[in-house]
Structure 1
Amino acid sequence: MGKRSLARVLVVDVEATCWDGAPPRGQVSEIIEIGVCVLDTATLERGERRAVLVRPERSEVSPFCTELTTLTAADVASGLSFVDACASLREDFGARDLVWASYGDYDRKQFQRQCDATGTPYPFGPRHINVKTLFALAHNLTAEVGMDRAVELAGLSLEGTHHRGVDDAWNIAALLAGLLRAARTR
């Protein structure tokens, strides 16, 4: 294992197969896109951003899923296997040695479920930031809000397409940078 670093935060947002209602018999929700944005904690600048498309193995992309994410079955058919996508997070980004962040707990739980179900090594280390909860606490909200509402409350503009992992990771990184900036000026 490498040295654990606080110099960068790996901001992650996943999109997964979904349906308007219960999954069809024999199908389960699986990750089809891993959006990644690297946040430099010294400068609070967003750096590399990447969309890692993942080929589903136990489900199909529904019309509802395409409507929500813009991803089609053809888009993800040439994606990496889930095992290779997790290996890419570890090898290309050093995910095991960085703090990682997501908006809410869904992404962390989806990775855990899918890793457990497929026997894939979990790609991240133990340090996770739930930006959704942190944002609500920092803004003294009475409840957590969706990412698009948080962007609005922070006075930012939503960049890209909401529910595309790569764009959502970029926007979440902006929210986290704002929270860190505010904490440093107090």
Structure 2
Amino acid sequence: MAKRLDLILVIDVEATCWDGDPPPGEENEIIEIGVCPLEVASCRRRERRSILVRPERSRVSPFCTALTTLTQADVDAGVSFREACATLRSELKAQDRLWASYGDYDRRMFERQCQSRGVPLPFGPSHLNVKSLFAVTHALSREVGMAEALERAGLPLAGTHHRGVDDAHNIAGLLAHLLLAARR
């Protein structure tokens, strides 16, 4: 099947985290998948979505809640990682579309967690690193964080930073800004 280039699926994940190393027997794992499809032709962001994921090998720490606002109760009400990946494939046709994230962290988290859980990667092979794209299109000597990129682009930081659903929306706005500038 040919790759669909009507939408770019902008993804941002949040994962369990600690102020320091994980407790014994625990590991970083995805607890939220934020998705904001970006229409390529119009550069319009579609409705953003949050898929909460129940962690299997860790708990949400107070540090993680302070950073993301997500609690253990929030993610306990989520779906399994396998179900979340199936949703990306079935509802968003993720395996047939270009997907994007800000940096390589999200791609690596998906690859690592899919491999460790025996779950097929929900995405096709084409990943767009918006962090690198922003740096090279602005002739920066280094990559910058999402908040700084938004500021440099004159775009607002909407919602709560470090919530996947809001960060995906902000990254999609940044990508739209870059695409529109390239078309001028």
What TM-score, normalized by structure 1, do the two folds share? Answer: 0.98
| Residue number in structure 2 paired with 1:78 | 77
Percent of residue pairs bearing the same amino acid type = 65
Cα deviation for residue 3 of structure 1 reads 3.3
User: 3-state SS of the aligned residue for 1:47?
Assistant: coil
| Residue number in structure 1 paired with 2:87 | 88
Q: Provide Cα deviations, 1:22-47, integer angstroms capped at 9, x if missing partner.
A: 00000000000000000000000001
Cα deviation for residue 141 of structure 1 reads 0.7
Cα deviation for residue 69 of structure 1 reads 0.2
Runs of 4+ in structure 1 displaced over 3 angstroms?
A: none
User: 3-state SS of the aligned residue for 1:48?
Assistant: coil
Is 1:19 the counterpart of 2:18? The answer is: yes
List gaps (5 residues or longer) in structure 1.
none
Q: Provide Cα deviations, 1:43-100, integer angstroms capped at 9, x if missing partner.
A: 0000121000000000000000000000000000010000000000001100000000
User: 3-state SS of the aligned residue for 2:46?
Assistant: strand
| Residue number in structure 2 paired with 1:183 | 182
Q: Provide Cα deviations, 1:96-138, integer angstroms capped at 9, x if missing partner.
A: 0000000000000000000010101100000000000000000
Q: Output the CA distance in 2 between the equivalents of 1:151 and 1:52.
A: 24
User: 3-state SS of the aligned residue for 2:25?
Assistant: coil
Q: Output the CA distance in 2 between the equivalents of 1:6 and 1:92.
A: 16
Q: Output the CA distance in 2 between the equivalents of 1:82 and 1:5.
A: 24
What TM-score, normalized by structure 2, do the two folds share? Answer: 0.99
| Residue number in structure 1 paired with 2:167 | 168
Q: Output the CA distance in 1 between the equivalents of 2:124 and 2:47.
A: 20
Q: Output the CA distance in 2 between the equivalents of 1:72 and 1:17.
A: 10
Q: Output the CA distance in 2 between the equivalents of 1:112 and 1:48.
A: 25
Structure 2 counterpart of 1:34, one-letter code: I
List gaps (5 residues or longer) in structure 2.
none
Q: Provide Cα deviations, 1:3-31, integer angstroms capped at 9, x if missing partner.
A: 31111100000000000000000000000
| Residue number in structure 1 paired with 2:32 | 33
Q: Provide Cα deviations, 1:123-178, integer angstroms capped at 9, x if missing partner.
A: 00000000000000001111100001101000001000000000000000000001
Q: Output the CA distance in 2 between the equivalents of 1:138 and 1:151.
A: 14
Q: Output the CA distance in 2 between the equivalents of 1:104 and 1:153.
A: 17
User: 3-state SS of the aligned residue for 2:47?
Assistant: strand
Q: Output the CA distance in 2 between the equivalents of 1:60 and 1:171.
A: 27
Q: Output the CA distance in 2 between the equivalents of 1:101 and 1:13.
A: 9
User: 3-state SS of the aligned residue for 1:129?
Assistant: strand
Is 1:106 the counterpart of 2:105? The answer is: yes
Structure 1 counterpart of 2:66, one-letter code: E
Q: Output the CA distance in 2 between the equivalents of 1:162 and 1:50.
A: 15
